[in-house]
């Protein structure tokens, strides 16, 4: 656990690195599924720079690692002032999560609040 730098560190800063914890041998990875929900996500419209709010759901089946949740919180915080389309965000989070956590499978769903009368949800998943 010595490689964890964010958990328990009040001075930890937001960054695009997801920290991971080894999956204990006591779990059967064939049966373990992990769901994470962020209910207070914000980013910006890439055209108007207006704020957008969303709920983000990440569900994954770990292979060797589980994500350390504080690092995920700080990772998601890095999008706060970023202009990004909703569909691109789902794919971006999925790519980073799969690259850094290396799960068997993963699904990322972004559910954005209505703006202009339209709510957008986008889902990106591994095969």
Mean pLDDT, 10 residues at a time, the chain of 127 residues: 78 90 72 94 95 97 94 97 96 98 97 93 94
Catalytic residue among 11, 38, 43, 45: 45
* pLDDT tens-place string over residues 47-83: 999 999 999 999 999 999 999 999 999 999 999 999 9
pLDDT (0 to 100) of residue 29: 52
pLDDT (0 to 100) of residue 30: 61
52 is catalytic: yes
Give just the sign of the alpha carbon dihedral 86, 90, 92, 96.
positive
45 is catalytic: yes
Q: Which domains does the chain have, with CATH numbers?
A: 32-125 (3.30.1130.10)
Catalytic residue among 38, 52, 57, 98: 52
pLDDT (0 to 100) of residue 1: 64
Cβ neighbors of 58 (< 8 A, separation 6 or more) are 35, 36, 37, 72, 93, 97, 106, 107, 108
């Amino acid at each position: 656990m010595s490689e964890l730098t964010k958990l328990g560190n009040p001075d930890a800063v937001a960054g695009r690195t997801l920290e991971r914890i080894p999956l204990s041998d006591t779990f059967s990875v064939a049966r373990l599924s992990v769901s994470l929900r962020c209910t207070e996500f914000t980013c910006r419209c890439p055209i108007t720079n207006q704020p957008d709010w969303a709920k983000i759901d990440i569900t994954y089946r770990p292979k060797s690692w589980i994500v350390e949740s504080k690092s995920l919180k700080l990772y998601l915080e890095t999008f706060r002032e970023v202009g990004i389309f909703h569909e691109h965000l789902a794919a971006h989070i999925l790519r980073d999560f799969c690259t850094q956590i290396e799960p068997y499978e993963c699904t990322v769903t972004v559910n954005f609040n209505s703006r202009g009368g339209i709510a957008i949800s986008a889902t990106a998943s591994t095969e």
